[in-house]
Amino acid sequence: MSKKGRFSWYYFSSPQSFYPLAGTLQPWFAALAAVLCAVGLYISFFVAPTDAQQGESYRIIFIHVPAAWMSMFLYLVMGFWSGVGLVLNTRLSSMVATALAPTGALFTFIALWTGALWGKPTWGTWWVWDARLTSELILLFLYIGFMALQAAIDDQRRADKAGAVLALVGVINIPIIYFSVKWWSTLHQGASVSMTSAPTMAKTMLLGMLIMALGFWMYSIAATLARVRCVILERERHTDWVAAEIGGQT
Amino acid sequence: MIRALGWVLRRDLLLAFRRRGDVVNALVFFVIVVSLFPLGVGPEASQLRNMAPGVLWVAALLACMLSLARLYAPDHQDGTLEQMLLAGEPLVVLVMGKVLAHWLMSGLPLVLIAPLLGLQFDLPGDALAVLCLSLLIGTPVLSLIGAVGAALTLGVRGSGVLVALLVLPLYVPVLIFGAGSVGAVATGTGAEAHLMLLGGFLALALVLAPWASAAALRIAME
């Protein structure tokens, strides 16, 4: 298992060689996440100007919008790794997909929760059956379904593959669901609330949001790496190198 | 291939016919769920008329989902499914036959009894016709998507609840446009757009779902 002169991606597709790599990278991404989120939050709360129409309550979008972006993006990443795992039969890809799901679900939940907090002072209600809210809610259901399916199957290989098929079916369905919900709410009542007509954003607001989004990216990578390390240890616990690894730490 | 399709279809229909209770149960479940709503929200006709499409469609979704347990599980238990996987015919065709039989046994009865329940909700004639048509186009999609969920949860503990968790979010587009078509007739905008979209879902599901279901079956049986 020695590294050859030519760099090979396949070298890191083995859980054994990926485990130390993830261990090395994880603190860096965690540190980047902490720094970016700290800077982003500082800009959001102290530098960015108060919104003329919404007052201070708009500041929650600095968390809300990046969380919503991540929630959708992570599902695509999960679908991608599921597909790779299904086609190439690489165990690590499935492990990454498994590790991504809780983070994605977390961001979906944060997006919904902060959206409700923002909606109360702005729209006067916790919840509207708006297209974005509804599709985000269904996304949360899809994440939960993926995790529930994997948790219910004892055979690890089958859990990976069944989860992968479900994730891919979900990826095909996400645009369909999104547009159905969109047409559903526009067909009936017209767009009562629309974010596209919001006033053009001040530069500092956009900057804060982008930095927060980057911070969330880094957090997602760090959390996924940490989780995938746990998954690797759990699944490879019968191997010698894991025994040595755990034995060396204690 | 057509012969294999016909064989699976005939076999499943014969089995269902020998055990008529299962088919009737799903139908009775549909009727009971729909009948509970007026008791819950009150008998006012105008309110019921507004609710009818949604209530009927949600009940159809649930009834369809409940009968998914019978799609593969009995064949899995007695080993027939294994033989189907080993058979020379493409698995997708066999899956298609099973889904078709499932729809004939669980979807079609709902379509046939829906006008009667619609009358209880005081739906006018043209809305009833559209309700039937939307169910006719939409319920096969439910069976097709459900076949993926049923294959994924085959032999898994707690599969009954799990299949609901997996399948119901995927049913959302069908529900929206199925119930929406009836609502569109009531508001006078016409149901063509909704029905065409339902037809589009059917075409898409017809191509992709048997394939995904067959893949999930292979995963479950390996």
What is the predicted pLDDT for the residue at A6? 60
Contact: B166, A166; criterion CB under 8 Å: yes
Domain span at residue B70? 2-221
B138/B57 Cα distance (integer angstroms): 9
Q: Would the CB atoms of A176 and B201 count as touching at under 8 Å?
A: yes
**Which of B219, B221, B222 to mutate to probe the A interface, most A CBs <10 Å?**
B219
Kindly state whether residue A245 falls inside one of the protein's structural domains: no
Binning pLDDT at 50, 70 and 90, where does residue B109 land? very high
Average pLDDT over residues A128-147: 86
Question: A101: which chain B residues are within 8 Å (Cβ-Cβ)?
Answer: none
Asked if the structure places residue A21 within a domain, the reply is: no
In tens, the pLDDT along A144-158 reads 999 999 999 888 888
* In-domain check, residue A249: no
Question: In chain B, how many domains are there?
Answer: 1
Residue in B closest to A185 by C-alpha: B176
pLDDT tens, B129-148?
999 999 999 999 999 999 99
In a domain, A4, yes or no: no
Mean per-residue pLDDT, A86-93: 88
User: Does A180 sit within 8 Å of B170, measured CB to CB?
Assistant: no
Our count of domains for chain A comes to: 1
Chain B residues touching chain A at CB-CB below 8 Å: 148, 152-153, 156-159, 162, 165-166, 168-170, 172-173, 176-177, 180, 183-184, 189, 197, 201, 204, 208, 212, 215-216, 219-220, 222
Q: What is the per-residue pLDDT for B101?
A: 93
Full 3-state SS string of chain A: CCCCCCCCHHHHHCHHHHHHHHHHHHHHHHHHHHHHHHHHHHHHHHHCCCECCCEHHHHHHHHHHHHHHHHHHHHHHHHHHHHHHHHHCCHHHHHHHHHHHHHHHHHHHHHHHHHHHHHHHHHCCCCCCCHHHHHHHHHHHHHHHHHHHHHHCCCHHHHHHHHHHHHHHHHHHHHHHHHHHHHHHHHHHCCCCCCCCCCCCCHHHHHHHHHHHHHHHHHHHHHHHHHHHHHHHHHCCCCHHHHHHHHHHC
Identity of the residue in B169, B197, B215 whose CB atom sits nearest the CB atom of A165: B215
Contact A165 B152 (CB under 8 A): yes
**B172-222 pLDDT per residue, tens:** 889 988 988 988 887 777 788 889 999 999 999 999 999 999 999 998 887
pLDDT at A201: 62
Q: What is the pTM (predicted TM-score) of this model?
A: 0.86
What is this model's ipTM?
Answer: 0.84
